[in-house]
Each structure stands twice: as C-alpha cells, then as structure tokens.
Amino acid sequence: MPESALRGRVLTRPAFLASICAGLAVRVALVLVHPLYLTDVSYYDVQAVQHLLRGVDPYGAYYSAPPSLATPGAAEVFAYLPGVFSFIAPAGALSATSLGVVASDLVAALSIRLLGPRGALPSLAYFLFPPVVLFSTYFVNDSLPAIAFAAAAMAAEANGRPNASGVLWGLAFGSSVEAWLAFPFFAAYSLRRGRASPPILAVLTAAAVVLPFLAWSPGAFIHDTLLFQFQRPPVPFLYLGPFGTSLNPSLQGILVSLGSSAPLALRGLLVLVALGALLWRFDWSLRGLALRSAYFSALSLFLLPGVAFWSYFELPLMFFAAWYALRGAERLAKA
C-alpha cells in the first residue's frame, strides 16, 4: 500500500505533539496547582523518598497519611519494588514526587507511539484516557514506572534492539511485581527467536535493582512487596471507602459479597491454567506478546488479590494499546 493511501489513517506529528503537550499540561497543573490526593500512596511516596535520601531503608520504615485515607496495616509498609524510585526520587528531591509518576505516563505514551506508523492514536487513547490521568495525579498509581519501562522495552524490540529491550524489561520487573506477569510471554517470544540474552539480561537487571534493598532488610522487603498484598483481609465488591461507596474489582470481592471465598492456592492454580492456555496459543510475535500479556495480567489481577483497585488494570490497558499500535505496523508490513 503506498504511503499516500496511509496518510489519512495516520495522525500527523504536529497534531500528536500538540495533544501530548495538552495532556501533559493538564497533569502538571493538577499536580502542582491543586495537589489534592485521594489515596495514601502519594503520602507514602513522599515519605519513602525522604527515608531514602536520609539513608533509611524505606521498607519497614514508618509511614503516615490522613486517617481517612490510610490503608489499614500499612503504617510500616512500602508496597512497591525499588525501581519505582527511578522516577519518583528525582521528582521527590524537588518536593513533587507525583511528577515522577506523570513522567512515567509520558514515557509509556511516547513508547507506544514508536511501535508503528499508526501508534499515535493508541498512544493518545492511553495518555488522554481520564482514569489514566487520575492515576498519575490524584489517585497515584506506583505501577506506572514499571508500565513505562515495559512500553519502552517493546518499543526497543520493535526497533531492532533486543538487548536494550531485555534491560528495560528488567527495569520493569524491578519496579513492580505486576510486571512479572508479562515475563513468560517475553521469555517465550525471545527464546522462539533463538535469543537467550534478553531474558537473562532482564533477570540480571531486575536483580541489580532489587537485591541491594532485599539485603538491606530481607524480612521487611518480602513482607512489604509481596506478603502484605495477600495478608490484607478481603472486602466486598461494594464497600464503604473514604469517599463513599467503592468497588473491589476482584474475584475475592465478588465471593465475599456472596458470603464465600476462594483460597489463594485455588486462585493461583486458575492463573497457572490460564498461563498454559495462553502460551499454548501464543502466536510468537511481538504483537502476540502484548496481547497475551494484556489478557494474562488482567485475569491475574482479577483472580489473585483479595483487594483490587481499578489502577491495577492500567498495566493490561497499556498492553492493549501497544497491541493495537503493533497491529497497524503488522498490516503496513504486509501491504
């Protein structure tokens, strides 16, 4: 298909940049002009950066938030892997940690744009989607650094840099436990192409990020980043939160509302069955990696947590946007 036939289907660069700048301006204004936070995460981020800058282990340290926002049992918990500091610590040094989360969204959007000639529209659909804006300003989703690294990893792979992609995947894995849900598909994709180095680089990079903090205080690190999530008592699908009725979009939330529950072992088994099915039907393309990662992360984040939040599903949302951008690139290659 000639380029002229595609031009009408591709957002022009000036229009794309103008839209990105407008979305970025809204985010920065929300963070700097009216910093009203609706979750405790933003308060924990500020304090975690302060702990780190003072040479205090952020895992197991003391945290506080307004009583109406504080998560029960989280007074000594920083529930995020240390790669998150790569974005929030530089911004926190300037007393604006949420700008680091905003920067994560920007990196993710620009990376989606690099995935193909029609990447502009899914990039903007992701970046300008109102819940995504809220998750990097008012609600503050600390999975966003991992989402940014994962998007950048796929962009590096799409542009012929598999080893750089492996390092970026490793930074994603060192930034959020959720990101590891994509590892089986990334590893299968790489090994299918006879490339063992990208998954190895990913694991080594993640280890370089995580191990110093794990060695600092092993018990506190493991409790904060892994055990705390599964030790939280489940709440019903509809429950009373600090701002009225809230939703717990998880299997446990639905079951608790019905007076029942499912043990973690059973939920984990369901996740493994889903993983096997998705790997069996894997189409071995980068587009397949994005789509299977989207399906698997969405399903896992519904099945595994006792208490889930809508921000958890921004990771599969980014993977879906990446899949759509890669779909356009694949069609162009076949034209």
pLDDT, tens digit, 9 for 90 and up, residues 114-140:
998 889 999 999 999 998 998 888 888
Q: What angle do CA 291, 84, 91 make, to 5 degrees?
A: 125
- Model confidence pLDDT, tens digit, residues 277-307: 999 988 889 999 999 999 999 999 999 998 8
Q: Kindly state the DSSP code that residue 79 receives in the 8-state scheme.
A: -
Question: Hey, what are 97's tokens?
Answer: 């940690």
| Alpha helices for the chain (secondary structure H) | 3-7, 13-32, 41-53, 85-92, 97-113, 120-127, 130-135, 144-158, 162-173, 183-192, 197-216, 218-222, 228-231, 251-257, 264-280, 286-303, 314-334
Q: What per-residue confidence (pLDDT) applies to 4? A: 36
Question: Would 180 be classed as within a structural domain?
Answer: yes
Dihedral sign, CA of 146, 147, 150, 152?
A: negative
Domain encompassing residue 278: 21-214+245-329
Question: Would 220 be classed as within a structural domain?
Answer: no
Whole-structure pTM value:
0.92
Mean pLDDT of 139-158: 95
CA-CA distance, 89 to 85, in Å (whole number)?
5
Q: Across the chain, what does the average pLDDT equal?
A: 89
- Number of Cα atoms under 13 Å in the Cβ half of residue 171: 20
Question: Would 158 be classed as within a structural domain?
Answer: yes
Question: Would 4 be classed as within a structural domain?
Answer: no
Question: Would 311 be classed as within a structural domain?
Answer: yes
Question: Would 3 be classed as within a structural domain?
Answer: no
Q: How many domains does the chain have?
A: 1
Question: Would 9 be classed as within a structural domain?
Answer: no
